[in-house]
C-alpha cells in the first residue's frame, strides 16, 4: 500500500474522490435531483453509472502511455502545447473557484444547521488552519486518512439507511412508468456534475504510481457510487417526498432528524454533521493539492509545499470575497457549476480521446 | 485590526518560508511564492477595505446573465 516518493495508488485516489463527493452529493443531489427527476430521481445514479464507466475506460486508455504524469500532460501529448495550455489555465481557474465554493459551503452549512449566531470567519479560519497542516504534511498520509474516513463514512451511512427504513413511504418513490424516463434522464445532471470530479482528481496524477491500473478498480467504484447514491436518494425522497426534498436546504439532514430508534435514540443528525465536516475537509484539501500541483507544473518548480501558505490565505479571503449568501452559492452550483463540471469532467476527456484516436496518439 | 493580524501572520509565516527556501537554494520557488503571496495579500486588502463590496459570484452570475 505504501508507495515510494510520497506516491499513492490509484485505488487510494479513487477512495479520495468518493469521500470528497460525499458532502456535495448529500447537499446537491437530493434537491436538484428531486426537482428534475421527481420520484424517479433515484434512478439517475444507475443511468449515470454507464457514463462514469465509459469515462473510466477513456481515462485508462489515455493513461496507457506511462510517460504522462497527469491528465494535463495527456492533453499536452494529444493536443499539443498550444491548445492544452489554455485548458491547463482554465482547469486551474476552475479548481480555484471550486476551492472557494466548498470552503464557503462548509461554513454556510454549519451556520444554517446548528451554529446560527456564530461568525462565519471563525469556521473558515479553523478549517484553513487544519487544511494548512494537511498541505504541509505528506500526501500519502492524507490519502490514508481518506481510506479510514471512507470506511467510517460507509459504516455510518449504512446505519443511517437502516434506521431510516421505517420512515420510507414506498409511494414516494414507486411506481415508475414510461413517463418518468425523461425526468430520470434530466436528474442525471447533478449526479454527472459531481462524478465529473474524477477527471479533476487526475490532476493529482503526478502523485499516483499506477494510473494505468484504473481498469482493476473501475467496476468496483462505478458500482459502489451507483448503489450508494441511489440508496441515498431512495431514503431521502422516500422519507420526505420529492416535493418536500426539493424545497429543503439540507434534505438529508432533515431526514436524519426523523430517526427515532426504540423511542430513546434520536438527535443523530450531529453524527451526520461531523462526518459532513470531515468530507468537507477532504474535498477542500484535495482541491488545494490540485491547485499546488497545477501551479508546480505551470511554473516548472520542484517543491510545491511552500505554496500551501498562499493557497490557504487565498482560500480564507477568497471564500469570504466569493459570495454574500447561501442562495448565490446554490444558484451558481445549479446553473453554472455543475454544467462546467460536466464539460471539464466528461466532455473534455471524451473529446481529447477522440482527437487522440484520430491522431493515433492513444 | 484585521489588517494588522493579516500582515502579522503573513510576516511571520512568510519569513520562515523565505528563510527555508533561501537555505535550500530554491530561487525559482521563491519568486513564484513571492508573486503568489503578494497577489493574495492585494486580494485580501481589497476585501478588508470593503467587505460588503460586490462578490465574485455576483460578477460571474451577471456575466452569464443568471438572475435569482
Q: Transcribe A165-204 into DSSP letters.
A: GGG--GGGT----GGGHHHHHHTHHHHHHHHTHHHHHGGG
Quote the domain boundaries for residue A272.
Answer: 10-358
Taking contacts as CB-CB distances below 8 angstroms, the residues of chain A near B60 are 332, 336
Domain assignment of residue A177, yes or no: yes
Residues in A 306-325 with any Cβ partner in B closer than 8 A: 306-307, 309-310, 313-314, 316-318, 320-324
The residue with cell 465536516 is A277
Domain assignment of residue A36, yes or no: yes
Domain assignment of residue A139, yes or no: yes
pLDDT at A5 over 90: no
Are A331 and B24 a contacting pair at CB < 8 A? Answer: no
**Complex-level ipTM:** 0.93
Confidence of residue A1 (pLDDT cuts 50, 70, 90): very low
Report the C-alpha gap between A338 and A325 in whole angstroms: 19
Taking contacts as CB-CB distances below 8 angstroms, the residues of chain A near B66 are 331-332, 335-336
A228-238 mean pLDDT: 92
Please say whether the beta carbons of A91 and A294 come within 8 A: yes
Q: Which three cell numbers stand for residue A267?
A: 438527535
Domain assignment of residue A5, yes or no: no
pLDDT at A3 over 50: no
Report the C-alpha gap between A10 and B39 in whole angstroms: 34
A114-133 mean pLDDT: 91
Domain assignment of residue A184, yes or no: yes
- Which pLDDT score is estimated for A245? 85
Q: Of A100-104, A202-206, A297-301, A328-332, give the range with the top mean pLDDT.
A: A100-104
Domain assignment of residue A1, yes or no: no
Taking contacts as CB-CB distances below 8 angstroms, the residues of chain A near B21 are 306
- Which pLDDT score is estimated for A346? 96
Confidence of residue A308 (pLDDT cuts 50, 70, 90): very high
Domain assignment of residue A71, yes or no: yes
Tally of domains in chain A: 1
Please say whether the beta carbons of A102 and A322 come within 8 A: no
Cβ–Cβ contact A262 with B under 8 A? no
Task: Note if the bond before A156 is cis, omega within 30 degrees.
Answer: no
Confidence of residue A17 (pLDDT cuts 50, 70, 90): very high
> What is the tens place of the pLDDT at every residue in A64-80?
876 777 889 899 999 99
Alpha carbon A128 to its chain's center: 19
What's the CATH code of the domain at A167? 1.20.1740.10
Q: What is the DSSP code (8-state) at residue A214?
A: G
Domain assignment of residue A3, yes or no: no
pLDDT at A100 over 50: yes
Higher-pLDDT residue of A167 and A268 is A167
Q: How far does A348 lie from chain B, in Å, by closest CA?
A: 21
Report the C-alpha gap between A211 and A7 in whole angstroms: 11
- What does the buried/exposed string (b/e) look like for A56-71 if buried means 16 or more CB atoms within 10 Å of the residue's CB? bebbbbbbeeeebbbb
B47-68 mean pLDDT: 87
- Which pLDDT score is estimated for A262? 66
- Which pLDDT score is estimated for A4? 53
- Which pLDDT score is estimated for A2? 43
> What is the tens place of the pLDDT at every residue in B34-53?
999 999 999 999 889 988 88
> What is the tens place of the pLDDT at every residue in A164-188?
888 888 888 888 888 888 999 999 9
Amino acid at each position: 500500500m505504501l508507495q515510494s516518493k510520497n506516491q499513492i495508488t490509484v485505488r487510494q485516489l479513487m477512495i479520495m474522490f468518493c469521500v470528497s463527493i460525499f458532502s456535495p452529493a448529500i447537499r446537491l443531489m437530493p434537491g436538484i435531483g428531486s426537482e428534475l427527476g421527481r420520484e424517479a430521481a433515484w434512478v439517475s445514479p444507475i443511468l449515470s453509472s454507464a457514463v462514469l464507466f465509459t469515462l473510466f475506460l477513456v481515462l485508462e486508455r489515455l493513461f496507457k502511455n506511462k510517460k504522462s504524469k497527469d491528465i494535463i500532460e495527456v492533453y499536452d501529448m494529444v493536443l499539443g502545447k498550444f491548445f492544452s495550455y489554455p485548458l491547463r489555465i482554465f482547469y486551474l481557474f476552475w479548481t480555484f473557484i471550486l476551492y472557494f465554493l466548498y470552503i464557503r459551503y462548509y461554513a454556510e452549512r454549519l451556520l444554517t444547521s446548528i451554529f446560527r449566531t456564530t461568525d462565519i470567519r471563525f469556521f473558515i479560519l479553523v478549517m484553513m488552519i487544519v487544511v494548512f497542516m494537511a498541505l504541509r504534511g505528506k500526501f500519502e498520509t492524507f490519502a490514508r486518512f481518506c481510506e479510514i474516513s471512507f470506511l467510517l463514512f460507509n459504516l455510518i451511512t449504512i446505519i443511517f439507511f437502516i434506521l431510516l427504513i421505517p420512515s420510507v413511504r414506498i409511494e414516494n418513490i414507486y411506481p415508475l412508468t414510461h413517463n418518468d424516463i425523461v425526468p430520470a434522464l434530466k436528474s442525471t445532471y447533478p449526479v454527472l456534475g459531481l462524478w465529473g470530479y474524477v477527471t479533476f482528481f487526475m490532476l493529482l496524477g503526478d502523485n499516483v504510481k499506477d494510473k494505468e491500473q484504473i481498469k482493476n478498480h473501475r467496476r468496483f467504484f462505478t458500482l459502489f457510487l451507483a448503489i450508494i447514491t441511489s440508496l441515498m436518494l431512495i431514503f431521502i425522497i422516500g422519507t420526505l417526498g420529492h416535493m418536500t426534498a426539493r424545497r429543503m436546504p439540507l434534505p438529508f439532514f432533515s431526514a436524519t432528524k426523523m430517526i427515532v430508534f426504540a423511542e430513546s435514540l434520536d438527535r443523530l443528525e450531529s453524527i451526520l454533521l461531523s462526518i459532513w465536516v470531515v468530507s468537507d475537509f477532504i474535498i477542500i484539501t484535495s482541491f488545494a493539492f490540485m491547485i499546488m500541483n497545477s501551479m508546480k507544473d505551470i511554473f516548472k518548480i520542484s517543491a510545491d509545499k511552500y505554496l500551501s501558505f498562499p493557497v490557504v490565505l487565498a482560500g480564507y479571503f477568497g471564500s469570504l470575497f466569493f459570495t454574500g449568501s447561501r442562495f448565490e452559492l446554490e444558484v451558481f452550483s445549479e446553473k453554472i457549476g455543475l454544467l462546467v463540471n460536466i464539460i471539464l469532467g466528461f466532455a473534455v476527456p471524451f473529446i481529447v480521446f477522440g482527437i487522440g484516436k484520430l491522431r493515433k496518439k492513444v | 485590526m484585521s489588517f494588522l493580524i493579516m500582515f502579522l501572520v503573513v510576516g511571520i509565516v512568510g519569513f520562515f518560508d523565505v528563510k527555508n527556501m533561501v537555505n535550500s537554494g530554491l530561487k525559482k520557488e521563491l519568486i513564484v511564492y513571492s508573486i503568489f503571496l503578494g497577489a493574495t495579500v492585494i486580494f485580501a486588502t481589497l476585501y478588508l477595505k470593503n467587505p460588503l463590496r460586490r462578490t465574485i459570484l455576483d460578477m460571474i452570475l451577471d456575466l452569464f446573465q443568471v438572475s435569482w
